[in-house]
Structure 1
Amino acid sequence: MKIIIKYPRAVAALLVAFLLSGCESFVALEVPNDRITSTTVYGDDATARAALDGMYIQLFNTAFAAGGNASVSFLGGLSAGTYSLTSAVPDMEAFAGYQLEASNGLNLNLWSGAYNMIYMCNALIEGVAENNALSADTREALEGQARFIRAFTYFELTNLYGDVPLITQTNYTVNALQPRSLQTDIYNLILEDLTRAVALLDNDYPDNERTRANRFTALGLLARVQLYLENWELAEAYSSEVLEADELYELPEDLNSVFLANSREALWQVSPEGWGNSFIHTRDGNLLLRITPTGSPVELSADLLQSWESGDQRREDWVGSFITAAQTYYYPNKYKIQYDASGGDYTEYSMVMRLAEQYLIRAEARTRQGKLELAVADLNVIRERAGLETLEFNTSLSQESLIEAVLEERSHELFGEWGHRWLDLKRTGRAQDVLEGIEETDLLYPIPEDEILKNPNLTQNAGY
């Protein structure tokens, strides 16, 4: 078969499909002889960059990142009480009611999708290493991108599951029997990958499309990682470097423009190009927007709806309503397109990382260090954009009350995005105080039963 690279991004998806042999598991199967080999894929700059395109396209299709019903955003939202179910779907009810079992299909899809991406990253890192067929610029760009995505994926995995297998190669015989590694070792790899990515990635976005990581994207994730590790000074320093890049980033005044394609607020987005056809809507919008009585399996919870301050513009612009004779459903309205098969231009991208989070990271890191006046200034940037009164700094303001204010702003700013609320409640030790019916063993998702059956070295989390 002769492949002519006329549409490189479409070809990239094909290349990646060949590379992965259709495997949606961290146990990589042996590549059949009729599949494209890594030698072919990484034989020159054009095909190597096409493989990178395919990896990013796959992010839209792999369960954990896609924004669909097995994504971190959706399942984390169920666990955090962001959503209330309006449909009886047992696998979803298990997340919402803290009755998860290791056999849950959505949990398996989330896990497998994440390890699928890790395998792809490992394949790319191996493919470009000391590859003299590629230019130095291509080798560095591809390694930096792959290391960033691997770090991002492991960050999500270890915060959802705790200790997880640390897979850094494509040798399927080794991967198939890999035991769980300590979370400290996972974080060490994350920090190593991100430090390397910062050194390799450019400041600019290729083709002015924010669907690839740049140096500031990696710095932004470093800021988040250091916040979770309670390294407050480093979290402040990394977020400051991102916030100072005002030639690239700003907070749009119009909240309805935040989630548009290539928004000035975006550090990183995922394009609906991964649909591979005429669809131009995001999976987030397709799942969450309610344009019919049964158009979505969830609505926003009453607790979230009642928590907004009066006059919060986010409540006006980012919450929609669907009214029936029986009731009014409220749904996330950050994305405005539920379905569009026109084949036209992409007007919305799925948001993964954005500038507002960096203000909130720095506000929390500064508060934890006792820099309360500076923290209030950061928090007020977010509040002003939301149309709220600014907080007034005075000597009676306590560190504890300001932390509460930061976490409250995080819940209103980042709701429905990448499980932030769920992870925030867990890392701050507040989950059992805030969420009804949750036990300590519910704070980690179960290792999927299918994976434990395939790998005798895998152990299960407590309580499952």
Structure 2
Amino acid sequence: MKRLLIKYTFFIGLSVILASACNKDLLDTVPNDRLSTNIFWKTEQDAVLAVNAIYTFLDGNTIFSWDAYTDIAHVNQNFQPEAFVELGTYDVTSAPVYNAWAAAYQGIQLSNYFLANVDKVNTTNTALIDRLKSEARTIRAYHYIKLAGLFGDVPLITTPLNVDEAVKLTRTPVAQIYDFVDKELTESAPLLPASYPSAADRGRIRQGTAWALKARADLWAGRYQAAVDAASQVTGYSLNKSYQNLFTYAGENNSEILLDKQFIKDLVPVNVFNLLAPYSQKNAQGYYVPTRAMVDMYEDNDPRMHFSIFMNGDTLPSGIVFKPTPGGGGADAIGSTYYSSATGYNIKKYINNADYADPSNNGINIILLRYAEVLLTYAEAKIELNQLDASVYDAINKVRNSRDDVKLPDIAMGKTQAELRAIVRRERTVELAFEGLHLFDIRRWKTGATVMQGPVYGMTYISNGQPVTVEAVSSTRTFTDKHYLWPIPQKERDLDPNLSQNKDW
């Protein structure tokens, strides 16, 4: 019921409104292309239904492509448009670039529409309206953080636009985007509840969500003290006791999750099993696959590797053994089909045995923000400030060893700033692998030109008594300074000549 409320009630209500608008007796009074103030924006329930719709524009499967544009994952089918982004051969007309822009601004426009109309609701329950406004403002801030990380300067839009206004926009400097995000989240957080008493409200924005998003934004902006302060405001959360079940149905809505995109099998499903699982699993696509560079980042005996990646010899959801070795026979052998993993690895996060029966109809929630990120954000910001106190080690070590199934040795005190920087960066990469954050990390760390050059490598196997490391076909990447920001999509500049372009695009 909780996700049904959050995701569908508004659309059911919208359908009723539009159906009513088609009644011959109402044709002269009710428009059928929008929600009329004659019949909507009247009650508290209208306000709740309207804010629910904004949640549908949170990211879902898109997050997996972002990691495939980095060193830790690979676009497995080299003829897909995402592959050109990975290789560095994309341009201003590339579909993934435009789609990211368009999806974010759809979410922003819907948030703006809600905020412009919700005060029309006749109620004395100002606390409810303030909460709903804060939910909308927080989701809008989420989109602006993403846009700033991908494009840099972007138009800052805070009110609904008509067509004439939309083609006269200019780009707002990215520093001002981050200023706006800071203000929105700082003002929204106190108006949000720490938690919701009803299970029907699981998945809603909470106070901790707003503070955690502010910490993310401030870290990406290089505002390290602000990131420390915001992360310190995230209280009442804890790491889930099992890393392995974080991405399973058993782990949904646990104490670590601050924000997720919620799905429901049969109603609004997600096809993550079909997208990521090995090809032998009912012809799953294995669209994005891990790389050898990702595998090599794990320390010896780090169980998170086996919880995150299918490797040679693992048991798959169907009960068969994963056999990716070239020439080894079976559907998963490298080279047997372009759907089989070109690296010999497949992503295991979000692959649930229960979804094998219907691979494109999954109900698993996609996590967008969790407490482990907050801890690592706090640690990294403190390290960049050169505030190397015990709290830095405590934050990193909680992530490393406070789960029942992840018990890695503590990082010992006494490290230099450079040593701790390398440690926290590796820890972010392995802890948050395949969760859509590494693209933004290598951009702000300015490591893209180092890690995104040359071929993609995969598993090592023995052939004729000698070790052979797989090199993915047509996988040679090129990364230059211009790739630290995506270009402004040409479609947008054709419509609005006032939009400037990023350097060298």
Which TM class, normalised by the smaller chain length?
A: 0.7 to 0.9
Are 1:365 and 2:364 matched, yes or no?
no
Are 1:350 and 2:366 matched, yes or no?
yes
For residues 87-166 of structure 1, the aligned pairs below 5 Å read 87-129=77-119, 131-133=121-123, 135-166=125-156
2-side partners of 1:427 and 1:460: how far apart? 20
Give 1:252's aligned residue: 240
2-side partners of 1:10 and 1:153: how far apart? 21
Unaligned runs of 5+ in 1: 1-5, 21-31, 60-64
Q: Is the 8 A contact 2:282 2:359 kept in 1?
A: no
Give 2:416's aligned residue: 398
Specify which of 294, 303, 309 is matched with residue 319 of structure 1.
309
Are 1:66 and 2:60 matched, yes or no?
yes
| Identical pairs, percent | 24
2-side partners of 1:19 and 1:116: how far apart? 22
Aligned pair count? 428
One-letter amino acid of the counterpart of residue 408, structure 2: L
2-side partners of 1:335 and 1:297: how far apart? 14
SS of equivalent residue, structure 2 residue 189: helix
Specify which of 439, 442, 445 is matched with residue 480 of structure 2.
439
SS of equivalent residue, structure 1 residue 155: helix
Q: CA deviation at 1:66?
A: 2.1
Q: Deviations over 1:10-64 (max 9, x none)?
A: 23135679999xxxxxxxxxxx9312425243211112101112221343xxxxx
Shift of the 152–80 alpha-carbon distance from structure 1 to 2, 3 Å rule, reads same
Q: 432-441 vs 365-374, which deviates more?
A: 365-374
Specify which of 179, 183, 200 is matched with residue 192 of structure 1.
183
Give 2:351's aligned residue: 336
SS of equivalent residue, structure 2 residue 98: helix
1-side partners of 2:15 and 2:490: how far apart? 26
2-side partners of 1:304 and 1:345: how far apart? 26
Q: Is the 8 A contact 1:372 1:399 kept in 2?
A: no
Specify which of 175, 180, 203 is matched with residue 194 of structure 2.
203
Q: 122-131 vs 397-406, which deviates more?
A: 122-131
Q: CA deviation at 1:444?
A: 0.9
Are 1:380 and 2:397 matched, yes or no?
yes
Q: CA deviation at 1:7?
A: 7.1
Are 1:427 and 2:455 matched, yes or no?
no
Are 1:236 and 2:228 matched, yes or no?
yes
Give 2:50's aligned residue: 51
1-side partners of 2:349 and 2:74: how far apart? 18
2-side partners of 1:185 and 1:374: how far apart? 31
SS of equivalent residue, structure 1 residue 353: strand
Shift of the 120–278 alpha-carbon distance from structure 1 to 2, 3 Å rule, reads closer
Q: Is the 8 A contact 1:257 1:263 kept in 2?
A: no
Q: CA deviation at 1:383?
A: 1.2
2-side partners of 1:296 and 1:161: how far apart? 28
Q: Deviations over 1:84-124 (max 9, x none)?
A: 23213341111110111111112211111110000010011
Q: Is the 8 A contact 1:205 1:213 kept in 2?
A: no
Shift of the 309–456 alpha-carbon distance from structure 1 to 2, 3 Å rule, reads same
One-letter amino acid of the counterpart of residue 411, structure 1: T
Specify which of 70, 74, 83 is matched with residue 73 of structure 2.
83
SS of equivalent residue, structure 1 residue 458: coil
SS of equivalent residue, structure 1 residue 269: strand
Give the TM-score, by structure 1 length. Answer: 0.85
Give the TM-score, by structure 2 length. Answer: 0.78
Specify which of 471, 479, 490 is matched with residue 449 of structure 1.
490
For residues 287-326 of structure 1, the aligned pairs below 5 Å read 287-290=275-278, 291-292=281-282, 295-321=285-311, 322-324=322-324, 325=329, 326=333
Q: Deviations over 1:330-383 (max 9, x none)?
A: 22222123566599995x311011010011011112222322432112111111
One-letter amino acid of the counterpart of residue 32, structure 2: D
One-letter amino acid of the counterpart of residue 373, structure 2: E
Q: CA deviation at 1:237?
A: 2.3
Shift of the 238–283 alpha-carbon distance from structure 1 to 2, 3 Å rule, reads farther
Shift of the 435–37 alpha-carbon distance from structure 1 to 2, 3 Å rule, reads same
Are 1:37 and 2:35 matched, yes or no?
yes
Give 1:212's aligned residue: 204
One-letter amino acid of the counterpart of residue 46, structure 1: Q
User: CA-atom RMSD, angstroms?
Assistant: 2.7
Q: Is the 8 A contact 2:48 2:132 kept in 1?
A: yes
Q: CA deviation at 1:279?
A: 6.0
- Structure 1 runs (4+) greater than 4 angstroms displaced: 6-9, 14-20, 338-346
Shift of the 409–345 alpha-carbon distance from structure 1 to 2, 3 Å rule, reads closer
Unaligned runs of 5+ in 2: 19-29, 312-321, 335-340, 454-477
SS of equivalent residue, structure 1 residue 66: coil
Q: CA deviation at 1:145?
A: 0.4
One-letter amino acid of the counterpart of residue 405, structure 1: I
2-side partners of 1:211 and 1:278: how far apart? 17
